[in-house]
Each structure stands twice: as structure tokens, then as C-alpha cells.
């Protein structure tokens, strides 16, 4: 499954980048996130409860950031285990472009699921993933818009 989108955030690029690296902000934005622990500048651990169709699962996963192109671009990869519900792994490439104090965030994400989740069908999973991404970025933009630079 692949998702891509572009979001405009009313804040300078440096502020958006800092927010994308702030575990407290990310935890507020990730739907169903119960815990987000920053182990280092490039390693995070998350506990998330998700409902996809009839399947509700608690995922525990690890995320690794590659910040080589920061703050203009970075990538992340991760994997999560949802027990009987299945496993998920994937990654995303993110670019940030600033124009007149407004930042355009573009992302392309890929994910693979297995187990019960994979049995639900790609349309349901893709639709759920799009909704979750939309919720994340709407909340993220709302929080970043209210943060002082």
C-alpha cells in the first residue's frame, strides 16, 4: 500500500521540523497513541491502539529516523506488532519547503500488513490508512499553527 499527500502548515519550516521531532506533539497527533518514547534523536518506540474494520489491536513498534537531509527532507521506517491482529512495517519520505513563512509538507509512505489485518482487504486498509493520515496531519497543523516560533 502506498499513500502520498501534500499539506500546507502556517509556520516556518524550522518550526515544523522541530515539531515533527517532538515526541509530546507527535503523541497528541498520532490517532490511538498511548505512549511515545524517544530513545535517541533517531529512535522512537510507540504503543498505539487501532481499529481497522472489525479488528482492534494494540501495536507496539519501533521507528527509526534518517535525518541526513534535514531540515529539508528526512525519512523514517518502522515496524509494529499487533499480536494476533498481525504485523505492520513501512516507511515514509518527507520533504519540507518554505515559502513566505508557510511550509508545504509532502510525504510518500509505504506499508505492508500481515495477519488478520491483511485478510480485511486492501480497500479497507487503504481507506483506514488515509483517514489516520488525515487525522494526524489535521491535528499536527492545528498544534503547530498555535505554537510560537
Q: Higher pLDDT residue, 93 or 117?
A: 93
Tens digit of each residue's pLDDT (9 = 90 or more) over 6-47: 999 999 999 999 999 999 999 999 999 999 999 998 999 999
The CATH number assigned to the domain holding 133 equals 3.30.530.20
Span 102-116, mean pLDDT? Answer: 92
Domain encompassing residue 56? 2-146
Q: Higher pLDDT residue, 79 or 123?
A: 79
CA-CA distance, 119 to 113, in Å (whole number)? 9
Collect all residues with Cβ–Cβ distance below 8 Å to 123 and sequence separation of at least 6.
Answer: none
145 has a pLDDT exceeding 90: no
Collect all residues with Cβ–Cβ distance below 8 Å to 7 and sequence separation of at least 6.
Answer: 104, 105, 106, 137, 141
Collect all residues with Cβ–Cβ distance below 8 Å to 19 and sequence separation of at least 6.
Answer: 11, 25, 140, 143, 144, 147
R_g (Cα) of the chain, nearest Å = 15
Whether residue 103 contacts residue 12, with contact meaning beta carbons closer than 8 Å, is answered with yes
Per-residue confidence (pLDDT) for residue 142, from 0 to 100: 93
User: In total, how many domains does the chain have?
Assistant: 1
Per-residue confidence (pLDDT) for residue 106, from 0 to 100: 95
55 has a pLDDT exceeding 90: no
Per-residue confidence (pLDDT) for residue 26, from 0 to 100: 93
If pLDDT is split at 50, 70 and 90, which confidence band does 1 have? confident
Backbone angles phi, psi at 40, to 5 degrees: -160, -175
Instruction: Tell me the whole-structure pTM to 2 decimals.
Output: 0.86
Per-residue confidence (pLDDT) for residue 148, from 0 to 100: 59
Amino acid at each position: 500500500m502506498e499513500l502520498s499527500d501534500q499539506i500546507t502548515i502556517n509556520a516556518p519550516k524550522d518550526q515544523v521540523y522541530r515539531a515533527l521531532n517532538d515526541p509530546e506533539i507527535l503523541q497528541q497527533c498520532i490517532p490511538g497513541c498511548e505512549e511515545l518514547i524517544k530513545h535517541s534523536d533517531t529512535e522512537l518506540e510507540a504503543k498505539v491502539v487501532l481499529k481497522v474494520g472489525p479488528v482492534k489491536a494494540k501495536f507496539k513498534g519501533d521507528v527509526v529516523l534518517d535525518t541526513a537531509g534535514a531540515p529539508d527532507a528526512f525519512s523514517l521506517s518502522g515496524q509494529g506488532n499487533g499480536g494476533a491482529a498481525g504485523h505492520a512495517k513501512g516507511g515514509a519520505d518527507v520533504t519540507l519547503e518554505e515559502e513566505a513563512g508557510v511550509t508545504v509538507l509532502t510525504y510518500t509512505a509505504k506499508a505492508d500488513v500481515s495477519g488478520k489485518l491483511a485478510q480485511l482487504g486492501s480497500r479497507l486498509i487503504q481507506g483506514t490508512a488515509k483517514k489516520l493520515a488525515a487525522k494526524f496531519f489535521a491535528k499536527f497543523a492545528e498544534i503547530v499553527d498555535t505554537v510560537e516560533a
